Structures are given as C-alpha cells and as structure tokens.
Amino acid sequence: MNAVAIFADLLKDRHTFLQDIHEGKRLSVKISALLVCSFCSFAIYGAIIGSFHSSLQALSSGLKLPTLYLITLLVCLPALYVFNALFGSRQTIAQHFTYVLSAAAVIALLLVGFAPITLFFVITISPVKDYSFFLLLNVVIFALTGMFGVSFLYQAMRPVAQSDTDTNVQLRSTVLRFWLGLYGFVGSQLGWTLRPFFGSPGAFELFRPREGNFWTGVLDAIANLMQGAG
Amino acid sequence: MPHNLANLQALHLTADDIEFHTGFTPHSFWVGSLWGGVYRLSVWRQPQHWLRILGIEMITLALLGMLSVPIGLITLRDTANTHRFLQVTTTATGLMFASWHVRLWHRKRTLRPLMRLLDDIDQYNQLVETVILLDGLTQANRQVPVPDQPPILEALQASRMSLVTALNLERLIRQHQRLFHQNQPLWLDLDQALITLQALELQDQAQDYQDVIQQALTISLNVQTTVRQLSQS
C-alpha cells in the first residue's frame, strides 16, 4: 500500500488525479492513502503545536487535530452527497468522499509545509509570555491553509452539466458553497469541544469543561472586549 | 538473433496488469486498500516487511482511535470526566481493531489462491529479469555462442498467458461462482500454455535457457494446481 506515492500524485499530477476520481478509478486505494497520509500530516502538526505546552499536550493535540479535520469531514459528507444527488449529480458517495478527502490532504500537506516555521517559534519563544502570539500565528496558518483547501475543493468539485437536460448546475454550485460553510460551522464546534489544542499556561488538561458552544464563546469574547473598551 | 529488450520488458506482469485482471492493487507486502485489503501470504516469511506490518497495525489503530472519539465525546456532554472518556474510546477502539482483524482473517481465507498466484507472478517477473540479464551478457560477450532464443520468448509468453488466465479464473470464481464452469475458453488457454511449455522443455537448449524454460514450466504447473484446487473448493 504505497500511500505516499498516491499522495505525491495529488501534488504532482493533480489534473489526472482528479480525472481518475471523476471516472471512479481506484477509489478505495485513493481513500486509504489520503486518509493515512492526511492523518499522519495532521498528527505531526498537532504534535508540534501541542509541544508548545508539554509532551502530554503534544500527544493529545497529535490525536486531536486529525480528529478535528477528518471527523468534521465524515459528519458533513452525507449532507453534501444527498443534496448533490437530489439535484442531479451522478457521482457516488465514494467519489464525494475522495474529493473532500483530497481537499483535507491538501490542507494537511500545507500544514506540514508550515511545520518547520511553527517548530522554530516553539523553540524560540516563551510558552507563558508569548502564548497569545503563538495562538495568533497559528490562527493565521490555519486560516491560510484552510482557504487553499477550500479553494482546491471548490475547483475540483465545481459541478459541470452531466447531460443536455441537466439544468441543476447552478443549484449544485450553491449546494457546494453552502456545504463549505457548513463544514466550517461544524468544524468550529468540534474544535471548541476538543479544545485545548495549544494548552494555555498552567497544568495539562485533556478537555476543557463544556461552556456553551463556539458561537456563544465568540459572542462572550466580543462582549468582554467591548466591556474592556467601555 | 538477440532478443529485443523492449519485447522482454513487455513480458513483465506489472502492478497495473495485475490490478486490471484482479481488481486489487498489489504491493510487496499488502494487496488492495487499507479497509478491503489483506497482507500477502509471503510477508510472514520475509523479516524485512515486519516493520511495515507494525506500521500498518499502528496506523490502523490510530485511525480507529480517531473514529471512536465521537463515541467518547458522548461521555463528556455533562461532565468533564476524562477518565470515563478514555475508558470508552479505548474500549471502542479495541472492539473496532478486533473487528478489523476478523475481517482481515476472512479476506485472507477468501483471497488465499490469489496470494499464491501473486507469489508465482513474483517468481515469473524474476525469471524475466534473469532472461534480460542473460541476454545482456550474451550481447556483451560476442564469443559466447548465442543460443536459439525464440523458444525462450515463447516459454515466457506461455507462462505469462497461464498466469493471466489464472488471475482471470480466480476473479471469476471469486465474483461469479456459478458462471465459472461455463467458461471453458479460459480453461483451454491454461491447458494450451502448459502443452507449449512441455513441448519446449523437450527441445535441446543451452543450459542457462533450459533452466529458464524449466522454471517457466514449474510456475505454470503451480498455477494449474492452484486453479484446480480453487475450482474444487
């Protein structure tokens, strides 16, 4: 099972790789390879950001980061498939899964590309004083890699008319855009549930107590900011 | 007349050829995808692959651990009891890992004939390599008498045909048990390959090439045995 070779195909010959998915060629092998490689890449990056706090946090984040990306994908996949099928797509769920997994693999690969930079900062900054800086740095990295991944998926899955009578192309494009938003929405909640990933200064904790959801957390943070300013 | 290297190279049975005939992507230690595949039978006899086996086991365990996280998260809904979370995820991972191994064992039983054929294909590809090497040596040393070589090509082609036919038969038996006995042309191909090789073996050849024909015949006989056993099971 040469997962790395298949992963390399995605990088070097993306057009053929996507064409193969479109034609349904070797999907099970591709799925296995993408799953294994993206899991390992996310685990490496997760371990690096966790090592900013402690080795226990490194182990924990090394498992949490792949879980965040890949479980979100699994949770959102049926919605994408059902809506596309409803509006005329003839692609199977395995093809849908391979497409979205390819996008996750692109994000994973970009994160591994950023790994030496993150590691450099882990080594050179203070875990207590520079916690906010490290957090911000990673927010930028995650946002950047996420944007590239989303753009890749949008390009790869952009619907094309499957017959002369296929009038649902525009509708499927809207479904895809809606799904990308949904992926971000579910991902943010799962990320909120699985936190901490970085480990704030203090003792190691596997999970933080549940306090509302991601969006109430954002609203609380904004409210605190306004109160501070007022 | 020396062999055309391109002709000899074309005799190889590549991973793409095997995938085309069987529907499985073969590797040196594994066949198929992570979920639907299985370890090659020969892998247990080759210590150089044991580290890879360990790698596959660890990655599968980690992936299943990841899949069991949502189950564990149920325990965290009301309290932050991480001990309970770890208990639940470990148990779920263990159960899924055991199920994966049961599936692996079942696939190993189903795909045993294919595994034997893949070992024969490895042997056959090594034989083609040997002929390419001998061909190169013969061409480099002009003083060595060049043996009559077309029979070697014929032997390899016959061996290749028997392997390809056996792969097709194995797939047919695996997928359509009932249709198998109706497919006589494939059986005839298999018998024809063996007759060709037996005829070639009787001809007078240079010693090196005689060994090649002998090995090609052995491979085809193994293939015949595997397919006969498969049809009787």
Residues B33-49: pLDDT tens digits? Answer: 877 788 888 888 888 88
Q: What is the model's pLDDT at position B145?
A: 57
CB contact under 8 A, A36 and B34: yes
> In angstroms, what separates the C-alpha of B155 from chain A's closest C-alpha?
32
Predicted structure pTM score: 0.80
Pair B168, B84 in one domain: no
Task: Give the number of other CB atoms < 10 A from CB of residue B15.
Answer: 14
Q: Chain A partners of B78 at a C-beta cutoff of 8 Å?
A: 210
Nearest-Cα distance to chain A for B50, in Å, is 14
For chain B, say whether A39 makes contact (Cβ under 8 Å): yes
Mapped onto helix, strand or coil, the DSSP state of residue B136 is: helix
User: Which residue intervals of B11-48 are DSSP H helices?
Assistant: 15-22
Q: Is the pLDDT of residue A228 over 80?
A: no
**Mean predicted lDDT score pLDDT of chain A:** 86
Q: Are A96 and A77 in contact (CB under 8 A)?
A: yes
Q: Is the Cβ pair A36, B59 closer than 8 Å? A: yes
Q: Counting one residue from A and one from B, how many pairs have CB atoms under 8 Å apart?
A: 63
- CA angle B32-B33-B34, nearest 5°? 125
CA distance linking residue A159 with residue A80, whole number of Å: 12
Helix (H, G, I), strand (E, B) or coil at A111: helix
Nearest-by-CA chain B residue for A75: B70
Instruction: State the pLDDT at residue B213.
Output: 74
Contacts of A209 in chain B (CB under 8 A): 80
Average pLDDT taken over every residue of chain B: 80
* Closest alpha carbon within chain B to A65: B66
For residue B65, pLDDT over 90 is answered with: yes
CB of A80 closer than 8 Å to CB of A92: no
Does one domain contain both B218 and B181?
Answer: yes
| A112-132 mean pLDDT | 90
Boundary-marking domain end, from B93, B110, B127? B110
Crossing angle between the packed helical segments A93-124 and A131-157, to the nearest 10 degrees: 160
pLDDT at B1: 44
B120, B219: one domain = yes
pLDDT digits (tens, 9 = 90+) for A167-213: 677 888 888 888 999 998 899 989 988 888 988 788 888 888 777 77
Q: Are residues B47 and B70 in the same domain?
A: yes
Interface contact A28-B19, CB threshold 8 A: no
State the nearest Cα–Cα gap between B80 and chain A, in angstroms. 5
Taking a C-beta distance cutoff of 8 angstroms, is the pair A186, A140 a contact?
no
Percent of chain A at pLDDT exceeding 90:
42
- B39 part of contact set with chain A, CB < 8 Å: no
Task: Output the six-digit token pair for B127.
Answer: 């034989």
Structure tokens belonging to residue B48: 């150089």
In this structure, the answer to whether residues B105 and B115 fall within a common structural domain is: no
B78/B52 same-domain check:
yes
Task: Tell me: do B118 and B99 sit in the same domain.
Answer: no
pLDDT band for A132, please (50, 70, 90 cuts). confident
CATH (domain of B201): 1.20.1440
Query: How confident is the model over B76-87, as a mean pLDDT?
Result: 80
Tell me the residue range of the domain where B30 lies.
25-110
A223 touches chain B (CB under 8 A): no
pLDDT beyond 80 at A133: yes
Q: How far does Cα B231 stand from its chain's mean position? A: 19
Domain count for chain B: 2
Whether residue B209 contacts residue B134, with contact meaning beta carbons closer than 8 Å, is answered with yes
Structure tokens at B145: 């008498």
Q: Where are the beta strands (DSSP E) in chain A?
A: none
Least confident window among A5-19, B125-139, B145-159? B145-159
Q: Residues B143, B202: one domain?
A: yes
